[in-house]
Amino acid sequence: MTGTWDEAIAKRIEETASRYPRKESALLPALRIVQEAFGCVSAENEIRVGEILGVPAVRVREAVTFYSLFSRTPLGRHRIQVCRNLSCTLLGGVRVLDHLRRRLNLEPGRTSPDGLFSLETVECLGRCDESPCLMIDDRHHGFLTEDKIDQILASLE
């Protein structure tokens, strides 16, 4: 999803910031608003968020690049994040990632040419008890097998 910056976005950020004791405390919710509006947080929008919240642009950049929730480039309609932490790796995470690579013909860090899928690896999804796991959009999937992955993907296409 892409769009142009307008006063409605700035107003939503201002309204969100008004609920915090300090304006800069609304940094993550403000970035979420931008991510939802544009599908990513561009360098230009990092600057705008910083101006609205009174935060240096470098601090905004630090948050965007630290949290896997945010992306600096446009994502596919479905964002697939594969856990690469120790538990998932030991229980088949590499197999999960390899299967997704083959099935989607897509390398991590890329978006499919049709814009349907983005594939990423992340350090941890906090679901070690369901290893190997992944997250698609805002939904977790665990105890993955190749058949289960195929069923999940079929429900998305």
Q: Which two tokens stand for residue 108?
A: 């991590």
Q: In this structure, are strands 110-111 and 117-122 parallel, antiparallel, or unpaired?
A: antiparallel
The pLDDT, as a whole number, for residue 5 is 78
Q: Domain extents for the chain?
A: 7-66, 78-156
Residue 25's identity, in one-letter code, is S
pLDDT at position 130 over 90: yes
Phi/psi at 82 (nearest 5 deg)? -105, 125
76/7 Cα distance (integer angstroms): 26
Domain 78-156 has CATH 3.40.50.300: no
In a 3-state reduction of DSSP, which class is residue 117?
A: strand
pLDDT 10s digits, 80-89: 999 999 999 9
pTM of the model as a whole: 0.76
The pLDDT, as a whole number, for residue 1 is 41
Question: How sure is the predictor about 138, in pLDDT bands with cuts at 50, 70 and 90?
Answer: confident
The pLDDT, as a whole number, for residue 104 is 96
Domain 7-66 has CATH 1.25.40: no
Cis peptide before 113 (omega within 30 of 0): no
